[in-house]
Amino acid sequence: MKKVICTIIVLLSVLYSYSQTYTVDNGTLVCTGTGITSDGIYEALISNGIGSDHFRETLAGNKKTYVFNAPIRIGNDANSGSNSVWNCSNQHIKINAASFQIYGSVLQGNITGGQSADGGSFSVVGTANDSFRLFNNGIFRAYGSSLYAQNRIRVDNNCEFKTIDCDFQPEDGVSLSDGWASSNSTISYDRTRVHHTTAVGIKLYAANNTNTFSLNATKVEGCKYAFQLGNGNNLTPILKDVEINSCEFHIVPNQGNANIVFVNPDFTTLRANSADANDITTIAFRYTAKVLDAANLPIENASCYYIDGSSNIVLNNKFTDAAGNITGLVNYDGETCLQNSTYAGNTKTDRQNHTKSFASYLHNLKSEPFVVNKDISENIILSNDILITEPSKAITNTYTEIETTAKFYDRAKAFLVDNYKGETATIITKNDNTIDAKGHNVIIDATAATPFAFDGSTITIKANVYTGNIITSTSATITTKNGALLEGGYSDSTGINKFVHLDWNDNTQLEVSFVNNDDDSLITSTGASPTTKVYKGFFLLPTPAPTNGVSVEISFSTAGGPPLYESIIPLKDLSFINLKVLLDNRGTEKNQLEMLYLYKKLLVKTEAIKNSLSITSNTNVSLTETITNTNSEASATLENQEALIRLLKRLLSKITANRESLKN
């Protein structure tokens, strides 16, 4: 008895779950219930005498064909949405009537394992615009089907119109707004071909931004207008992998502030038949990129700068993350993209040619063109910058003064990376101890507000004393300010200014002169202002540069006599430094003392020779000369000089006597 009761309950549940009711409302067949069938509609039309020449046929594979020549409504206001369901999967449906209304759900086909199955065809003909209509909560879903609508399809509030893997020919599209305002509805096309309409293929057309449009891998072809935009303020549908083939116009702008985004379309230029400055159309492509070093290791904090073919900034100084990924890219519906083009109104320009540029503190700059016309995933390889001295950019940014070429280059590179705008070359470059300012002005300021500043034409560094050479173009200048000193040569608009540093460790005031070796003319001299021990200064190299070079001479300030020191300054060197100058033509007390010692030894040896010859008795050698100056590094003294002369005379006398003895 219990088994019978259970069986009855199950049967009642099945009947209830798949119930169907057919009534007539002013010549329209109204179908309700979750089990609406095509056979039920066919039989209800005939039994109620609605329309004529209805047709039903079973084809091979149990697929059926139905032709209904009467107005049909699925569901009603009181019983709509999923409460009234017509599943016409694996069937060919044609409705030839003045109206076809959906308050409930119409389903054709299904999804199995991600693929469409059990599709068929569904066409509505003989209707005026908007007579094929989805009312509140109405649903139309088709999978793997062929669809046709002779006139525009209208969608009201809270509706869903969805096609997957369909071939769809909608004359003038599916619209959310054309004189009315629908809300919270969705129109989506996935892997669908929309084709051959004399008006619009797909309407992206709504009165407000509560509605949703979705396109994925959909092809629009053979239509007068592929898409119609507009009317909803801030309406931003995202359409993915769209193809447009053989359409007279890609878009027709309407009104409002629509912003339509095409992700990875097969076009880069849009054709429009009219202008509406409020409508914006964006073309973007899926894009991911990593910035790596030569060892394929990720580079963090590399600056990235992208512009399109019209120099519009696409990516502005965004930095890579710890994995080397480029950040700051736009995201459309969860997909990272590189925006390729933005069109306002009907100004349509092909902007597929981009330039991508990268700057990293420890690496060389890189900039190259590329074409954005497809999805891209790539690695960017940057080579190492061998001119960097301090490996930590954080430390470089803490410098309070720039006193050396190493600090100068490192800080300029850090500044460039922090303020990168796609430059293809560094602000300055470095060669050993020389900075090339690349045509920029350079100011060395002891009281500058910041250690490094650059305004596009002038570089200012803070230093009390800057050591190193600097060159720039003949139209720029290199100057010091507020007591700053430059200890290095420089080349600018004034010419080639060579820096000379000499140290001869002598308290005597001496004159430093620079001589043109081509004609022995004086270039410049300390003259009436002689210097002691150390000389630091500049001289301007003559133009043209002397073939035989320039000599530097150190001499007594009084004219006459050979120079105490002389050297040729290499033409290629901006700085000439000698910190151990030997004044070769100047006697010193140390040398005189050594000479006195040697003369004494010679005199003793001479006496020994005489004694061995037994010519005369031995005469003791006596040196009574007094040495008064004990500073061995000081200048020679008169007393020493006179003692040396007396010793030489005595030595000559002894040698002469020995010679006479040998003759005898």
Q: Are the CB atoms for 189 and 163 separated by under 8 Å?
A: yes
CA distance 72 to 95: 8
Domain boundary among 349, 381, 413: 381
Please compute, for residue 314, the number of CA atoms within 13 A of its CA located in the half-sphere on the CB side: 29
Phi, psi at 117, each rounded to 5°:
-145, 160
Per-residue confidence (pLDDT) for residue 31, from 0 to 100: 96
User: What are the structure tokens assigned to 405, written together?
Assistant: 């070429």
Report yes or no on 267 lying in a domain: yes
DSSP alpha helix (H) spans, 303-422: 393-396, 405-418
Nearest to 417 by CA among 455, 363, 459: 363
3-state secondary structure of 167: strand
CA distance 74 to 23: 11
CA distance 155 to 166: 19
CB atoms within 10 A of CB 395: 11
pTM of the model: 0.72
Report yes or no on 330 lying in a domain: yes
Question: What is the spatial order of strands in the sheet that 458-462 belongs to?
Answer: 452-454, 458-462, 441-445, 478-481
Q: Are the CB atoms for 88 and 107 separated by under 8 Å?
A: yes
Which residues face 442 on adjacent strands? Answer: 459, 478
The boundaries of the domain holding residue 421 are 393-488
What pLDDT digit, counting tens, does each position of 323-343 carry? 999 999 989 888 999 877 777
What is the maximum span of the chain, computed from C-alpha positions, in angstroms? 172
Are 365 and 400 in a shared domain? no
Are 242 and 354 in a shared domain? no
3-state secondary structure of 14: helix
Which residues face 500 on adjacent strands? Answer: 537, 576
Per-residue confidence (pLDDT) for residue 442, from 0 to 100: 98
Are 232 and 94 in a shared domain? yes
Nearest to 202 by CA among 232, 165, 230, 181: 230
Q: Are the CB atoms for 328 and 415 separated by under 8 Å?
A: no
Q: Are the CB atoms for 107 and 86 separated by under 8 Å?
A: yes
Are 456 and 347 in a shared domain? no
Are 457 and 530 in a shared domain? no
Which residues are within 8 A (CB) of 450 and not within 5 positions of it... i.e. 6 or more apart?
460, 462
Nearest to 172 by CA among 187, 153, 191: 153
Are 470 and 595 in a shared domain? no
Per-residue confidence (pLDDT) for residue 627, from 0 to 100: 47
CATH code of the domain in which 345 resides? 2.60.40
Give the chain's residues under pLDDT 70.
1-18, 78-79, 178-180, 230-235, 254-258, 275-278, 344-352, 557-561, 584-592, 594, 596, 598-599, 605, 610, 612-645, 647, 652, 654, 657-664
Nearest to 420 by CA among 329, 307, 288, 318: 318
What pLDDT digit, counting tens, does each position of 137-152 carry? 999 999 999 999 999 9
Report yes or no on 20 lying in a domain: no
Which residues are within 8 A (CB) of 601 and not within 5 positions of it... i.e. 6 or more apart?
none
Domain boundary among 461, 488, 515: 488
3-state secondary structure of 659: helix
Nearest to 367 by CA among 426, 320, 414, 322: 426
- For CA atoms 393, 397, 398, 401, the dihedral sign is positive
Nearest to 220 by CA among 173, 157, 283, 286: 173
User: What are the structure tokens assigned to 392, written together?
Assistant: 């930590």
Nearest to 37 by CA among 72, 13, 9: 72
CB-count exposure of residue 437 (10 Å: 0-12, 13-18, 19+): buried
CA distance 133 to 161: 10
In the chain, % of residues over pLDDT 90: 57
Q: Which pairs with CB-CB distance under 8 Å and at least 24 residues apart come from 621-627?
A: 623/596, 623/647, 625/596, 627/593, 627/596
Report yes or no on 350 lying in a domain: yes
Q: Are the CB atoms for 107 and 119 separated by under 8 Å?
A: no
Domain boundary among 381, 407, 423: 381
Report yes or no on 32 lying in a domain: no
DSSP alpha helix (H) spans, 566-629: 589-612
Are 425 and 548 in a shared domain? no
Q: Quote the Cα angle for 475-429-446, to 5°.
A: 70
Are 251 and 140 in a shared domain? yes
CA distance 286 to 263: 7
Total structural domains in the chain? 5
Are 206 and 280 in a shared domain? yes
Report yes or no on 1 lying in a domain: no
Report yes or no on 210 lying in a domain: yes
Are 104 and 177 in a shared domain? yes
Per-residue b or e along 358-378, where b marks 16 or more CB atoms closer than 10 Å to that residue's CB: bbbbbbbbbeeeeebbeeeee
Per-residue confidence (pLDDT) for residue 7, from 0 to 100: 37
Q: Are the CB atoms for 583 and 564 separated by under 8 Å?
A: yes
Nearest to 333 by CA among 231, 234, 262, 243: 262
Are 89 and 148 in a shared domain? yes
Report yes or no on 568 lying in a domain: yes
Are 193 and 99 in a shared domain? yes
